[in-house]
Amino acid sequence: MKLINQILFFIAASITYARVDILKANKCEITLNEHYKKCFDYEGITMDNLESYCNFYHSSNCQKLYNEGITILNDCKVLDLESRSSVEKKYVDYFINFEVICSKNEFNQSCPMAYYHIFRNSNQSEARKVFNQYINDTCKSKRCTEIAIDATKKDIQLFKGSDYETKSPVDSSSLNKPYDGSIVNSEYEIDYTLAFLKSNYCSSHNQNSPYTNTYQPQTTNSYNTSNASSKKIINISFFIILILLSILI
């Protein structure tokens, strides 16, 4: 009987402890949303108001959160390492997206992947074609390519772990032709994307003058404004975009 009581006490204590952890994590997220909502709020973003969103992202307040982590808030300091990592992972994902959305080329034009994140084609049959072209257009700018490489590396580290070793899912000859994500298994497409962006083929397409992206979306972000429930899809990271595309094909 004594042993049973000890077991029951241990179970009750574990449940209570888990509940406390959940409450702490929720309080941390509420505080984050109260103080830093504009740092990672994608709702309603269009090319017309992009600059104001990016100004918030580049503010010292948001950059402090990005560089120092959520422990700058007292409500987040009390979390254990596992809970803190879980919450932080979510918000780092937002920041990686903003790095891409706010990216500019050498001529102060928005990078191709910025357009892709904001104006996602709702036509599923066109999704692969559009994504492929945006990756290829990225190679027109050395700066945009470097930003895309950095974002891809961060996504790999965030979702696959810092000890993940990128693999070579394609023959080197495949890096001497335009990007086509359909030639690799979805599991390794992010590896292929990184390899392609770092390839000589990609860098050989860098241009020294302003250029036009292959896909020119409308000024109004009709995809966001036509369906409020769809707005949150922009929050998906570069890595998750690759997975979704593979599912659509």
Confidence at residue 151, expressed as pLDDT on a 0 to 100 scale: 93
Q: Where are the domains of the chain?
A: 2-248
Residues 6+ apart with CB under 8 A from 18: none
Please give the helix or strand (H or E) that residue 168 lies within, else none. none
Residue written as token pair 């690799």: 184
Nearest C-alpha neighbor of 171 from the set 182, 186, 160, 183: 183
The answer to whether residue 224 scores a pLDDT higher than 70 is no
Distances (CA, A) of 2 to 6, 11, 14, 211, 226: 6, 14, 18, 78, 63
* Predicted pLDDT at 73: 84
Residue 247 has pLDDT above 60, yes or no: no
Residue 223 has pLDDT above 70, yes or no: no
- In degrees rounded to 5, what are phi and psi of residue 112? -55, -40
Q: What is the pLDDT of residue 20?
A: 46
Phi and psi, residue 10, nearest 5°: -65, -40
Q: In this predicted model, what pLDDT tens digit does every residue of 86-144 receive, in sequence order?
A: 888 878 888 888 889 899 999 999 998 888 877 765 566 677 888 899 999 999 999 99
- What does the pLDDT read at residue 180? 92
- Tell me what the mean pLDDT of segment 31-36 comes to: 82
